[in-house]
Amino acid sequence: MPELPEVETVKETLKVRLLGKTIKEVFSPYPKIIKMDFQEFKSKITNQTFRDINRYGKYLFFVLDDYTLVSHLRMEGKYYMRESLDQLTKHDHVVFKLGDNTFLSYHDVRKFGTMELVERGMEFTLLSVKKLGVEANQKNIDADAIFEKFQKAKRPIKSVLLDQSILTGLGNIYVDETLFRSKIHPEVLASNLNKDDVIEILNNAKIVLDKAIQLGGTTIRTYQSSFGVDGRFQNELNVHTMVGKPCPICNTKIEKIKVGGRGTYFCPNCQKRKTL
């Protein structure tokens, strides 16, 4: 599943290939991905030019002349630049024909991704975007505000860090790595953490995400970004997917458990449960 670093990599790669190009036509074999009437979508977006691409959390904002196309890749969404219609596959569900006769296609095996179109500058009026918390790698996050939210959360810290309304951009991989660096057990209740714990988590989340962005994200399991761009952060993983392997700090075997239904990797020695 693409997380913040993977979406950042997609954004930067697309900017090189897409900016300045105009949408001449759009068609969709599976228009349910688009969260509005397809004919209205088609009417509004035709003849619009890509002016910029931004990102917030795991959302992509394609900035056009008059509108912004807000895209969420969900589990396996990818964008491809196609040279011809012959290159399209059965999983290319939204296709934009561009002015240079190339095609931008949205490819999604599971069809979980979404697209929404809003007036330019109105991205944060969308409920799906408005409810997001601050980005987990943002500079100078208000630790007091996050600590207050943690205090109200009677859930395991792993689940709370995956809650995009508290911090956005952290997914399963990077939460595991952040908690390992913070020496915090994933099942500890967020409400039991003290202010220093929260500061440690925020600092390590930024370190992990920034490093992953630098390395182009993580290519792992079913997710691989398009354009031939493979992330290299999987070479930096300390615990995620490392079950049975020695901890890089203490040599204890990494264990895997389920927390909130999510596969979770941790070192039982370095990440001991807190005792109150």
- With b for 16 or more beta-carbon neighbours within 10 A and e for fewer, the 104-120 pattern comes to bbbbbeeeebbbbbbee
Q: How many CB atoms lie within 10 A of CB 10?
A: 25
- 168: helix, coil or strand? strand
> Rounded to an integer, what distance in angstroms lies between the CA atom of residue 259 and that of residue 262?
5
Inter-helix orientation angle 172-182/195-214, to 10° = 130
Q: How many CB atoms lie within 10 A of CB 29?
A: 12
Give residue 135's region: left, alpha or beta (phi > 0; psi -120 to 50).
beta
Element (H, E) at 53: strand 52-56
Which candidate in 11, 256, 262, 268 is catalytic?
Answer: 262
Taking the CA atoms of 252, 258, 263 and 264 in sequence, report the sign of the dihedral they define: negative
Reported residue count of the chain is: 276
Helices H / strands E in the chain, number of each: 7, 12
Tell me the H-state helices in 54-138.
127-130
Which candidate in 6, 8, 31, 58 is catalytic?
Answer: 58
Which candidate in 3, 6, 177, 200 is catalytic?
Answer: 3
Which candidate in 2, 5, 31, 156 is catalytic?
Answer: 2
> Rounded to an integer, what distance in angstroms lies between the CA atom of residue 237 and that of residue 176?
9
Please confirm, yes or no, whether 58 is among the known catalytic residues.
Answer: yes
Residues belonging to the active site: 2-3, 58, 262
